[in-house]
Amino acid sequence: MTNRFADVITTAAQVRDVLGQPSERVLKKEVSALDGHCRAFIAKSPFVLVSSCDAAGNMDVSPKGDPPGFVRVLDDRTLAIPDRPGNRRADTFRNLIENPRVGLLFLIPGKQETLRVAGAALIVRDRWVREPMAVAGKLPDFALVVTVTEAFFHCAKCIIRSKLWDGAAWPDLDGLASLARVIVDQGRLGESVEEVQAAIEQSARERLY
């Protein structure tokens, strides 16, 4: 791939030559535990992205969403994320068995800043962890328990540029296929789009929690 490009950055020094050094303020905003600001943000967040990596370096980012506060802060260095019924690929879990490191990105609709958290994760089934995260009487099968090593708030520039929370700036969806259409095309399935769409809708009705 690199043969296509003539000006490729290959060292950290080259990056710094272009970017310069971060300010003391930027460096000092990182904390090693979940303080009151982190806890307050997590308590209002209905959505987190979980990044993980297997032993070979293959990356994955998995979205997790639930009512605000669905991620439990167990103490100032530990949080728990419920795992709801999904497609059973278990990409994150398979990665964690090989490499426990994770990165988290918390978002709050309407809030321009985001919260970044990194740490090491365990796949846990202890009932005392899972029971407080039940929804409609249904416990998550697993909890992702993260031991926090660093956390910091990310500035608003990417949200401002993307106008992520500005509904008037959202692109129209014309020309985008339905998920059912994509699954049939990419999987070269013998099922019809209508059959796959019906299965998706049934899953949403019966397996949301």
For the chain, which domains are there? 27-162 (2.30.110.10), 171-206 (no CATH)
- Indicate whether 207 pLDDT > 70: yes
Residue 75 DSSP symbol? E
pLDDT at residue 182, rounded to an integer:
97
| Percentage of residues in the chain having pLDDT higher than 70 | 99
- Indicate whether 1 pLDDT > 70: no
Q: Which residues pair with 62 in a beta bridge?
A: 50
| Residue in this structure with the two tokens 């809708």, named with its chain if needed | 201
157 band by pLDDT with thresholds 50, 70 and 90: very high
Considering only residues 2 and 156, tell me which one the structure prediction assigns the higher pLDDT. 156
Residue-wise pLDDT tens digits, 106-126: 999 999 999 999 999 999 999
What is the model's pTM?
Answer: 0.94
Q: How many helices (H) and strands (E) does the chain have?
A: 8, 7
Give the DSSP H or E segment for 203. Answer: helix 193-206
Residues 54-72 have a mean pLDDT of 96
- Indicate whether 45 pLDDT > 90: yes
- Indicate whether 67 pLDDT > 90: yes
Label each residue of 95-147 as H, E or C: HHHHCCEEEEEEECCCCCCEEEEEEEEEEECCHHHHHHHCECCECCCEEEEEE
186 band by pLDDT with thresholds 50, 70 and 90: very high
Q: Which residues pair with 101 in a beta bridge?
A: 120
d(CA 62, CA 90): 10
40 band by pLDDT with thresholds 50, 70 and 90: very high
pLDDT at residue 174, rounded to an integer:
95
